[in-house]
Amino acid sequence: MYKIAVAGTGYVGLVAGVCFAERGHQVTCVDIDEKKVELMKSGVTPIYEADLEELMQKNYKEGRLNYTTDYKKAYKDADAIFIGVGTPEQSDGSANLSYIATVARQIAETIEKDCLVVVKSTVPVGTNDKVEQFIKDFLVNDVKVEVASNPEFLAQGSAVHDTLHAARIIIGTESAWAEDMLKKIYEPFNLPIVSVNRRSAEMIKYASNDFLALKISYMNDIANLCELVGANIEDVSKGMSYDARIGKNFLNAGIGFGGSCFPKDTKALEYLARQNGYELRTVKAAIDVNKEQKTMLFKKASRHLITFNGLKVAVLGLTFKPGTDDLREAPSLENIPLLLAQGADINAYDPVGEENFKKKFPEGKNAHGSINYVKTAEEALKEANVCFVFTEWKEIKQLKPEDFIKLMRTPLVYDGRNSFDIKSMKKVGVEYYSIGRNY
């Protein structure tokens, strides 16, 4: 087993560190936030992720997992250092690599033995070449150091399962030494390993995520056309799913993709193509479709209602998808400012995303409207004039059509996740609009 340090304790770094410990390695997770480190030592996860807290507590108690702000101590004698810090999107669509550079400099000035540096963060093709050169330029001690690429393919909400039971592990290396060490680190996982060079590994990450984003945007585009021509997107996707060449996943229409990966990765790859004099027209189209899709229901409702001024609006779901408290690129972030600007009085409900959303939209009166956070979906619906469904949490999908009739002042529902049966809603008298489904 290896002594591993992990830089960064977000979705990528923390999940990786915990899973390495679960498979028997000695792991130290490094973060600059002392409060966050103390929180993790107490067994509390800073992110909402299924099964993560249980494994954190187990492996910390058994002595395989620790947390620290002292990067010098963590890095100096590590066999491998995994970098899992953020690479946020910049205004031009490129990736911000400043956090990667900071960790690389710290590693160079700290390591005292031969070390493999493994970048799990999503970075543009060619970045790991630069990281390796950067570390060697600032290296203090006479030790061997190489950089490998090991992109993650976890989905938020199922990140622990996706790591421990991955379809494949991608490793990108430039030497037999680095390849052999990474294979041995992942040997206890007993998963298929695809070994390629560094640049191919970097591209596999972008190509995979962007393909899935393309699939989602394509289905949303088809759904919009279905509404116009009288077809039903659910019937269409069901018929498509039987074709093994297409598959059954990522065929659900909705109000666009969000999260930490798809929006950022599509823009980053499109930017990389432009920088190299090439236009990725398919990826650019996916970006454009997704941007328009997020506010489609708001625009449809605006045509119906003329204005939201003085109306009570129920918002069901704030996070970009169920199973996570992540708000990044969530449709709610696009739609709620539009509703507030028109003077809506919003009652918002989300099982886990409320606290994060409050940081962006504090409770109370806005310049025009107001936002109030409630503890149940039923409370959000009470006396509402209109309802928007932005996230398909089970707590929301469990609502019955009769609940909308009983609780709302006017049962007008715009469902961005196709959460309810059209016939059932119509039967009880709900005026119901969804994505790509005809009545």
Q: Read off the tokens for 224.
A: 């919009």
Question: Which three-class secondary structure string do you get for 150-192?
Answer: CCCCCCCCCHHHHHHCCCCEEEECCCHHHHHHHHHHHHHHCCC
Cα(first)–Cα(last) distance of the chain, in Å?
A: 59
Residue tagged 């620790």 (tokens): 66
**How many residues are recorded in the chain?**
439
CA atoms within 13 A on the CB side of 61: 8
- Cβ-count burial of 57 within 10 angstroms (0-12 exposed, 13-18 middle, 19+ buried)? middle
Euclidean distance between CA atoms 135 and 117, whole angstroms: 10
Q: What is the β-pairing status of strands 364-365 and 345-349?
A: unpaired
Q: Read off the tokens for 298.
A: 């708001």
Residue tagged 């150091």 (tokens): 145
CA atoms within 13 A on the CB side of 200: 9
Q: Read off the tokens for 143.
A: 């030790």
Q: Read off the tokens for 366.
A: 């806005």
Strand partners, 118: 82, 148
**Residue from 70, 69, 105, 81 nearest 26 by CA:** 81
Catalytic residue, chosen from 19, 226, 261, 387, is 261
Q: Read off the tokens for 166.
A: 């991955």
Q: Read off the tokens for 427.
A: 């039967």
Task: Reply yes or no on whether 19 is catalytic.
Answer: no
- For residues 403 and 378, the answer to whether their CB atoms sit within 8 Å is yes
For 271, list phi and psi in degrees, rounded to 5: -65, -45
- For residues 186 and 193, the answer to whether their CB atoms sit within 8 Å is yes
- Cβ-count burial of 267 within 10 angstroms (0-12 exposed, 13-18 middle, 19+ buried)? buried
Catalytic residue ranges: 261
